[in-house]
A and B are shown apart, each in its own frame.
Chain A
């Protein structure tokens, strides 16, 4: 993307005012997005993102500059402007790059750029029809298809020079079920770090039906009782509970400044001893995987919590300096428009011993959250909230009627201690995670778990 001599020139300019580390990140990305509403293609947008980010450190200070004015003068000008924010004396630095080679863990069989729009539309139509035909109460189906191919280059003053290609695709199906003047929604949105071959590996018809099944189930659901109950959270996207309740608090972004409830807790028991939690950016072709992170470090399998004991955080270069720790291959960013920081990749609670049937039959009264919606957390206090997309009452060890509008709220550290059963059916779900370095693809995952007590916010019982 950029030649080595030019990269060297930029880095030398960036370091001319006393910086002790400089990095250049170049991105060339092709996007395609197609919207189908009510079975008709509403629009398709495709385009090319192209830009460069320059980062300079001096001690704990960090300066970032980005531009997509792609010519030598404009880039040099940005490097000069960025360096002006550092006030110091130029250090002696000898530059020399070593290209970082690795085995590609995310091979792409069928690049989306080789697939015509009509084939993508045919796929969407199949999803639409399955969703639409599921039930007479389905009143609207929206299918969004996207793919992208992101080529990145990272080079830094430590001599690292690395490139990666991330190809991802996702199809998001949302169904609306209506009766009288009421609407409920259901959605299903699988994705992967794969090319179009992904759609040979999933059953698209089943995906469409699943979105509609959720919507119809919720249309016929009663209000959810509010209060404090045991809650069973199913696998796949249920892992969003760990992502929100704890994952964000284990990112160096909040730990380094002691802005996290998990700061200074390594080696301490932070969860019940049946909980092991992992962030693994190396799962082949998973949605949140990449060969290298956005600082050019190889991604890793990081054990965060092992049998309840806090083992590690997710650490990027700048926070590694602040914390005196090693980087963990966790630096990520949405695009060249963001400086990278520590983020999750594919984060999950490891598989346990209980069977899902046992977990349910051991619960006298509570809520069973089959599918979770999204959520958020305040890392300072650990307070989190998230929405239940498809929920049921559990009565006398059996799944009872569906309930709508449930929200789970609680405190991350508190909830971790209250996980009293972990199932043996680990699976993953795909999400988009928004934080300081932008919105990035992440997998969440877990087997079915039970939390002994959690505040459930009911739906509107009042008409």
Chain B
């Protein structure tokens, strides 16, 4: 059913049931995924789905509901569920349905080229990716994951205050995981890319990147426990930042779940550290012109030269702090309540080349991969203790690969202990947020091994 017509019926019903301001958020998605295994199509998935979320103020409290069965029969349940939910909420702060920002940036998030790409071409690329890995080295015994995926998303916010915005975007992503074997030793590594890489049809170099990395781990063993200076490689550093990006949410700060309370204007990181959230970034997977509440997006500095400059806000947290929303209202999908989350958030790259950073180390470790980020990192205390892989460096040169170690520290201390920042900005595997970092040189990291 047509969303325009449906929304009027929903609002009408809501008014009858006692709701004041009301809002509809909707999404329509379609996706394509394929996986190749030994030249054969191992997985081929297509989808077309969506849903609508309703929220509204009932006795000044916000009630939420959603449905994936989008038709007239859903209206009654939608309103009733939202009403029942509003009746239990105990917020002291005033909740608002937003009338709209003055201006919105015009950004193009939709590639016609990508939309017009045939399934055969995508499959062909995925096959090449796998072939590239097998032909890169004889020691590649298995490509256990070789996939391509893309999606189209249309989302919109309509409300009874007159807001009416929608946006359409598409993106592509591919991923390869390779296993290499020498004698009885097995190592593995992954590489991935987004549409930007896909455009150049650069399957071979991405495959080679995964293979080279896996091969470089052959002969890895643990290392003596101790305190080391580390080079946290760009992808690993971006993963760590992603894990702790929640600390910049004003919602978490207000709820006592971040240690950044009362730290605005204070030095919380090394002088060389600047962290930016840029929703307008070209090729940024999380780029957008408005957030989930319809607030215009803006580019902001969270940390500038080590000083905490701002936090990420939605309408509710901004009101509580007496500031304007930064346009970071976020919902995981039409199923979720409004929270706060970054868009494209990254540590601004410095001037150091990777090679210079390695050669400047007397003794230390290069950390290329971190594991267990969802369990070994405490976003509230900042403590982390994570399984890691990488290389041992002595006198400015890589000596051997290292595995079976953990690195431990506190993220707030890491921010202060950054000694140098590389030029090689790279981003994590994209999802709803897109987090990036260059390689960082960090002192005083506790390493546990033998």
A44-B64, A259-B144 in contact; A457/B386 too (CB < 8 A)? yes
Q: Are A405 and B408 in contact (CB under 8 A)?
A: yes
Residues of chain B in range 199-245 having any CB-CB distance to chain A below 8 Å: 222, 225, 227
Q: Would you give the 0/1 interface string for B165-208, flagging 1 where the beta carbon is closer than 8 Å to chain A? A: 00000000000010100000011100000000000000000000
* Pairwise interchain contact A455-B49, C-beta atoms closer than 8 A: no
**Apart from A60-B42, A64-B46, A380-B144, what 10 extra A-B contacts exist at CB < 8 Å?**
A48-B69, A48-B74, A51-B68, A66-B45, A70-B69, A118-B87, A139-B256, A380-B188, A405-B408, A407-B372
Q: Which residue, of A142, A374, A387, has the highest number of chain B Cβ atoms within 10 A? A: A387
Does A337 count as interface, using CB distance less than 8 angstroms?
A: yes
- B residues near A81, Cβ cutoff 8 Å: 46
Decide: B89 and A457 in contact? CB cutoff 8 A. no
Q: Across the interface, do A257 and B142 meet the contact criterion of CB distance under 8 Å?
A: yes
Q: Which of A140, A373, A384, A460 contacts B257 (CB 8 A)?
A: A140
Known: A226-B446, A374-B374, A376-B374. A407 touches B48 (CB 8 A): no
* B85 and A69 within 8 A (CB): no
Q: Which residues of B contact A (CB under 8 A)?
A: 37, 40-51, 53, 62-71, 74, 77, 81, 84-85, 87-92, 119, 142, 144, 177, 179, 186-188, 222, 225, 227, 255-257, 259, 335-337, 371-372, 374-376, 378, 380-381, 383-387, 403-410, 413, 444-450
Contact indicator B256/A176 (Cβ below 8 Å): yes
Nearest CB of A to B76, in Å: 12
Taking a contact as CB atoms under 8 Å apart, the answer to whether A65 and B450 are in contact is no
Complex interface: chain B residues within 8 A of A458 (CB) = 225, 385, 406, 408, 446, 448
Q: Number of A interface residues, CB 8 Å?
A: 85
Chain B residue nearest in CB terms to A121: B88
CB pair A66–B47 under 8 Å, yes or no, is: yes
Of B62, B408, B413, the contact of A459 (CB 8 Å cutoff): B408
| Bound-complex Cα distance A383 to B179 (A) | 13
> Is B81 within 8 A of A46, CB to CB?
yes
Q: Nearest Cβ distance between residue B409 and chain A, in whole angstroms?
A: 5
CB distance from B35 to the nearest CB of A (A): 9
- Tell whether, in the assembled complex, residue B89 and residue A41 are in contact, meaning their CB atoms are under 8 Å apart: yes
Q: Kindly state the separation between the CA atoms of A418 and B51 in the bound complex, as whole angstroms.
A: 50
Chain A residue numbers with a CB within 8 Å of B407 are 457
Once bound together, how far apart are the Cα atoms of A42 and B339, in whole Å?
11
In the complex, the chain B residue whose C-beta lies closest to that of A56 is: B44
CB distance from A238 to the nearest CB of B (A): 14
Q: Is A419 an interface residue (CB 8 A)?
A: no
Instruction: Say yes or no for A153: interface residue by CB 8 A criterion.
Output: no
State whether the Cβ of A185 lies closer than 8 Å to any Cβ in chain B. yes
Q: Give, as a whole number of angstroms, the nearest-CB distance from B385 to chain A.
A: 4
Residue A258, interface by CB 8 Å: yes
Q: Check if A185 sits within 8 Å of B380, measured CB to CB.
A: yes
Q: Which of A31-39, A161-169, A205-213 contacts B (4 or more CB under 8 A)?
A: A31-39
Closest residue on chain A to residue B74 by CB atoms: A48
Given contacts A41-B90, A381-B188, contact A47 B119 (CB under 8 A): no
Task: Using A183-B259, A462-B409 as known contacts, say yes or no to A50 and B381 having CB atoms under 8 A apart.
Answer: no
CA distance A65 to B84 in the complex (A): 35
Per-position 1/0 for A291-303, Cβ under 8 A of B: 0000000000000
Flag if B49 contacts A69 (CB, 8 Å). Answer: yes
> Does B375 lie within 8 Å of A376, measured CB to CB?
yes
Would you give 7 A-B contacts (Cβ < 8 Å), ordered by A?
A: A64-B45, A68-B51, A254-B144, A380-B177, A385-B386, A458-B408, A460-B409
Interface positions, chain A 313-340, Cβ under 8 Å from B, are 337, 339
Asked whether A68 lies within 8 Å of B49 as measured between CB atoms, the reply is yes
- B405 contact set on A, CB distance < 8 A: 409, 455, 457
Which chain A residues lie closer than 8 Å to B119 at the CB level? Answer: 85
- When distances are taken between beta carbons in the complex, the residues of chain A under 8 Å from B450 are 227-228, 455
